[in-house]
Amino acid sequence: VDQAQKIQLEIVDITGRNVFSETFNVTGGYHTLNWNGFNNAGEIANSGIYFAKISGDVFSHSQKITYIK
């Protein structure tokens, strides 16, 4: 990211249901975000195909991911 901002990480399943979301305050520069496999209720997510969406003030990126327990 070019400057300090809030970054939103969302994990959704193939039906579009939100499984996990978290907001991070980051400074400018290169960053890595990791999902630990837990859902919003604190339970481990099922194995399957998910979509990870990362968005900030001026960008948004989505990627299909496979989660295997």
Amino acid, res. 42: G
First and final C-alpha spacing in the chain? 31
Q: Is the pLDDT of residue 1 over 80?
A: no
Q: What pTM was computed for the model? A: 0.86
The overall longest dimension of the chain from CA atoms, in Å, is 35
- Helices (H) and strands (E) counted in the chain, each on its own, are 0, 4
Give residue 31's pLDDT.
87
Confidence of residue 46 (pLDDT cuts 50, 70, 90): very high
Beta bridge partners of 19: none
